[in-house]
Amino acid sequence: MPLQSWFSDAKLGIFVHYGIYAVDGVPESWSFYTGQVSHEQYMKQLEGFTAARYDPRESAALFARAGARYAVMTARHHDGVALWDTALGDLDVVRHTPAARDLVGPYADALREQGLKVGLYYSHSDWNHPDYASVLHPRPTHDDVNTSRWVAPADGVEDPAAWARYLAYRDGQVGELVDRYRPDLLWFDGEWERAEEQWGLDALAARILAGNPDTVLNARMLGHGDYATPEQGVPLQAPEGPWELCLTVNDSWGFQHGDTNHKSVRQLVRYFAETIGMGGNLLLDVGPREDGTITDEQAARLEGLGGWIAAHREAVYGTVAGLPAGHHYGPSTLSPDRRTLYLVCFDPPRDSVGVRGLRNRVRRVSVLGTGAPLTHRVVGGLAEVPGVTWIDAPAARDVDAYATVLAVELDGELDLYRGTGRD
């Protein structure tokens, strides 16, 4: 099934890592897996998880102001703690924490009120489920997959019946999410701990798509995934097909008191422009406190990015990947009719901006947002090798504080010269 077009047009999503790990501010699930904290200490956080100021409508409004068109919340991370009142398994915030209510439903409703698509993160793995550590990976690629007590049977003896029960539990939970909240996107994780054939993904995909055939699935559904998910670093070459970069605002997915290493708005604008310039989406992660509030530092980054996007929306939503590297020193995007090129300039151009290899005649250049027209001329070239299109630098008053975008209107669809010059 082709990927839903809303996804490629959306450009920005917000990732929300919300869970009991925010109580002590320890790494989500991983902190007991790695032994940073004891399992007992980790699970004690259930008692401190209140969601006392959880206000998904306020968060959804913030995400909309950030310019996001979807959000993805951790309905259940590797620690197995479900954020809704699941009928499967024995671990959710409704029965086991003072929050004592479903947190997923109000989140989905609030996003929809803001016109945002609803994404839910769900980990295939559950390090707390009694039936999970029951089989071995036949071809492990991660070091401790067959030795970790949370993943593999301690005595090395497999228990296929336990594994079958585990898959029924996982499929049942995903079925609940699909039927109750009708997510537009399911973001799976944890797939590396088993081989594709062990995960039973054909049945899971069939279950999801029977509920809603338009559900978008990330690549951690392996053969059933719709798009690639590079993590924490902008790829240097666009991955094949649709993709989404997930990136933390600071250095942590979930809330951690001591992590003040926030990316600046300027850096986030760069990550975003570089990502969409290569045809991807950015899934920018925030980690709410245990009470559900988003820190001022994270909210300010979202607002800042949103301000830039709002002023440059024409260069963002619905556009496609722009020029390959080498034509312009910065990212660029292209209008869906391929007739307007949006050149992103991170530093204020001092003299002129040169575009190389452009075969089109340029009709008009202006600064996106202020509308100021800019002059240009073509210098050099031969009949078959285009010269350089030099665009005169905008005046200081037309330069954006984060990144200036030049809209270059072409005489037809973008036509690039990609050769090696005249023989």
- Report the interface residues with ligand GLC, using CB under 6 A: 28, 30, 189, 231, 246, 253
Distances from the Cα of 418 to the Cαs of 64, 83, 255, 329, in angstroms? 39, 51, 46, 16
CB of 287 to ligand GLC, least distance (A): 10
CB of 327 to ligand GLC, least distance (A): 32
CB of 25 to ligand GLC, least distance (A): 15
Name the residue nearer to ligand GLC (CB basis): 89 or 190.
Answer: 190
Q: What is the dihedral of CA 111, 55, 289, 16, to 10 degrees?
A: 0
Given a contact cutoff of 8 angstroms between Cβ atoms, the answer to whether 292 and 303 are in contact is no
CB of 142 to ligand GLC, least distance (A): 11
Amino acid letter, 47: E
Find, among 74, 103, 93, 383, the residue nearest to 253 by Cα: 74
Name the residue nearer to ligand GLC (CB basis): 151 or 407.
Answer: 151
Alpha-carbon gap, residue 283 to 413, rounded angstroms: 30
Chain position carrying tokens 């029960």: 165
> Looking at the DSSP assignment, which residues form a beta bridge with residue 365?
374, 408
CB of 383 to ligand GLC, least distance (A): 50
Name the residue nearer to ligand GLC (CB basis): 218 or 360.
Answer: 218
Residue 313: which residues within 8 A CB-CB, separation 6 or more? Answer: 67
CB of 75 to ligand GLC, least distance (A): 12
Chain position carrying tokens 């299109």: 389
Given a contact cutoff of 8 angstroms between Cβ atoms, the answer to whether 89 and 95 are in contact is no
Q: Both tokens of residue 313?
A: 């929306």
Name the residue nearer to ligand GLC (CB basis): 21 or 63.
Answer: 21
Q: What is the largest CA-CA distance in the chain?
A: 75
Given a contact cutoff of 8 angstroms between Cβ atoms, the answer to whether 202 and 216 are in contact is no
CB of 231 to ligand GLC, least distance (A): 5
CB of 34 to ligand GLC, least distance (A): 11
Q: Count CA within 13 A, CB hemisphere, residue 54.
A: 24
Q: Both tokens of residue 222?
A: 């392996």
